[in-house]
């Protein structure tokens, strides 16, 4: 997701007041009836609007999202999540067009129009703007990456158990198909990896393997920004990546370095410098065998010297003591 011209302080204050006083309370009353995708739409819209919700509202959102991952309700998309998403889209459109001071008021006007056009109340099945997109109860990789990205942008760090539950669906999908098919695009993978790195999440062995394999499978199609985000995320999560993966990553990045902006190039160099590499299993086994042989050789030499010293003491002991005998 791209960000355009930032709003002026007064525009941002008006927009935050409108969202927090009008939209967020209405959505909060309907969180219990939302499915995973509806909840993801709400959070990504708030992140796009740069309007962090209150802590108690966010705690309730995390709780409902975790429950819906286990038992999602099959129902149509209510109007308020789509309303928030439309407001966020209008906000981004105004930023991209750079309409100056009229941007904030235009977004508020668009929100008011959507509110007047919404039917069925909070949690009803009315439509906004004619029709609503179909609601899917399962959380796809794009929705998951959007949720993680929104949490990172809004500055909320959920508990580790929540992150493990949210990413468990990707792990189950990987076990059902193949590890490299769980993330359809390099951009979604970059968003998820970036967010997990910002949230300081340490995936387990299976998730780490799936993440690295997915990156390797999409390395040829990744943009320079995706590559920078991948390396930064792996460095932040302190994951040990295989040496061949690092080699392929450097090759894929080599012909993109000239086109990178200065800041992206600096971030790429810093991320590569902080990457951790994992030794192959055969090299770890050989290193462990060499260490074991070195320890055995040390103790053999130690026992030999002790035995030699004992023999010398036993041979010279009576002669020395005889000089002191009476």
pLDDT in tens, 230-264: 998 888 888 888 888 888 888 888 888 888 888 88
> Distance between terminal CA atoms of the chain?
99
Query: Residue 318 — very low, low, confident or very high, per pLDDT cuts 50/70/90?
Result: low
Q: Which of 148, 134, 228 is nearest to 183 (CA)?
A: 148
Q: What is the pLDDT of residue 150?
A: 86
Q: What is the pLDDT of residue 312?
A: 84
Mean pLDDT for 266-295 is: 78
What's the predicted TM-score (pTM) here? 0.54
Query: Range with the lowest mean pLDDT among 130-134, 151-155, 194-198?
Result: 130-134
Q: Which of 175, 236, 244 is nearest to 212 (CA)?
A: 244
Q: Are the CB atoms for 68 and 34 separated by under 8 Å?
A: yes
Residue 121 has pLDDT above 50, yes or no: no
Q: What is d(CA 307, CA 189) in angstroms, rounded to the nearest whole number? A: 63
Which residue has 């930032």 as its token pair?
Answer: 6
Q: What is the pLDDT of residue 31?
A: 66
Residue 176 has pLDDT above 80, yes or no: no
Q: How far is CA 123 from CA 27, 56, 83, 131, 135, in A?
A: 8, 20, 12, 15, 13
Q: What is the pLDDT of residue 5?
A: 60
Higher pLDDT, 106 or 244: 244
pLDDT in tens, 5-59: 666 777 777 777 776 666 666 666 566 667 677 777 778 777 877 777 777 778 8
| All structural domains of the chain with their residue ranges | 11-117, 141-274
Q: What is the pLDDT of residue 178?
A: 37
């Amino acid at each position: 997701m791209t960000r355009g011209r930032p709003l002026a302080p007064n525009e941002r204050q008006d927009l935050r007041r409108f969202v927090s006083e009008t939209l967020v309370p209405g959505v909060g009353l309907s969180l219990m009836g939302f499915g995973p995708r509806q909840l993801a739409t709400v959070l990504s819209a708030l992140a796009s609007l740069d309007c962090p919700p209150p802590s108690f509202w966010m705690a309730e959102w995390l709780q409902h999202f975790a429950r819906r991952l286990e038992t999602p309700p099959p129902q149509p998309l209510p109007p308020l999540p789509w309303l928030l998403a439309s407001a966020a889209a209008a906000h981004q459109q105004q930023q991209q067009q750079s309409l100056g001071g009229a941007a904030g008021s235009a977004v508020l006007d668009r929100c008011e129009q959507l509110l007047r056009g919404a039917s069925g109340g909070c949690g009803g099945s009315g439509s906004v703007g004619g029709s609503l997109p179909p609601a899917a109860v399962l959380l796809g990789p794009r929705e998951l990456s959007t949720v993680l990205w929104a949490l990172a942008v809004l500055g909320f760090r959920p508990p580790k158990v929540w992150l493990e539950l949210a990413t468990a669906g990707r792990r189950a999908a990987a076990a059902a198909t193949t590890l490299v098919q769980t993330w359809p695009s390099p951009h979604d993978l970059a968003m998820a990896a970036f967010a997990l790195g910002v949230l300081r999440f340490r995936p387990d062995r299976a998730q780490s393997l799936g993440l690295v394999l997915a990156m390797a499978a999409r390395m040829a199609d990744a943009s320079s920004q995706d590559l920078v985000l991948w390396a930064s995320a792996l460095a932040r999560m302190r994951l040990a990546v295989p040496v061949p993966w690092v080699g392929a990553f450097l090759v894929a990045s080599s012909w993109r370095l000239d086109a990178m902006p200065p800041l992206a190039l600096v971030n790429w160099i810093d991320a590569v410098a902080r990457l951790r590499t994992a030794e192959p299993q055969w090299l770890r086994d050989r290193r462990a065998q060499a260490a074991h042989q070195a320890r055995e050789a040390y103790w053999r030499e130690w026992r030999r010297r002790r035995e030699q010293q004992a023999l010398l003491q036993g041979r010279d002991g009576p002669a020395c003591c005889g000089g002191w005998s009476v």
